[in-house]
Structure 1
């Protein structure tokens, strides 16, 4: 499961980057990279992305443990991601509304989303 989750984290990083890129375009000029980072972490416009960032952090922290990831843990991570980006009707509707709206705005985001969906299917 460690290999699958490691691949998933790479895909999630690309997805997260594409989301930030699109949201930054809608936000407008951000200044220096440090100012951009501060906006992403502190400004309400980007706050909805923290749910995905937090989940990515949890996966990374679990992968840093010496013990192998169990199938149950991997499935729990998958379920958490499905609640954010999956086609299920449950989950975080606020996140999903913003996420689904952005999917229509960038081909790079669509490609990153498709990649993550394929990686999730392997778990």
Structure 2
């Protein structure tokens, strides 16, 4: 496997864990959700979870790119890194609305902090 594709595959895995932790914490704040199908519908349609769609969208783009047979270029990897850093940091001119909600949740869950650290390390390796 091409080195950039390997790095982005690891990043995609890390992002799935991060996303899962974010959904878990947001669900705790939301309250009872019912069945798994009702939970999925809430995550995709309810305004409480809408801010997560920015991260979900980037994850989808990354997965689609990884499914492509063409080798991933360093420029593409850097573009994904920059887009993610606009959301989760450390990019100063990032998405302030997303970042505010994200940073607030970072204080509430050690599992989220661990997932965040893992993604930050993976992003830092893309140079």
TM-score, with length taken from structure 2: 0.96
Give how far 1:9 is off.
Answer: 0.3
Aligned equivalent of 1:100? 103
Q: 1:21 aligns with which of 20, 24, 32?
A: 24
- 1:11 aligns to 2:14 (yes or no): yes
Distance 1:24 1:78 in 2: 27
SS in structure 2 opposite 1:84? helix
Aligned equivalent of 1:48? 51
Aligned equivalent of 1:63? 66
* Deviates most, 107-116 or 83-92: 83-92
Give how far 1:87 is off.
Answer: 1.7
Question: Cα RMSD between the aligned structures?
Answer: 0.4
Distance 1:91 1:71 in 2: 22
Unaligned runs of 5+ in 1: none
Once the two structures are superposed, what CA deviation does each residue of 1:29-50 show, in whole Å capped at 9, x if it has no partner?
Answer: 0000000000000000000000
Distance 1:87 1:9 in 2: 19
Once the two structures are superposed, what CA deviation does each residue of 1:66-123 show, in whole Å capped at 9, x if it has no partner?
Answer: 1010000000000000000012220110000000000000000000000000000111
- 1:33 aligns to 2:33 (yes or no): no
| Aligned length, in residue pairs | 123
- 1:112 aligns to 2:112 (yes or no): no
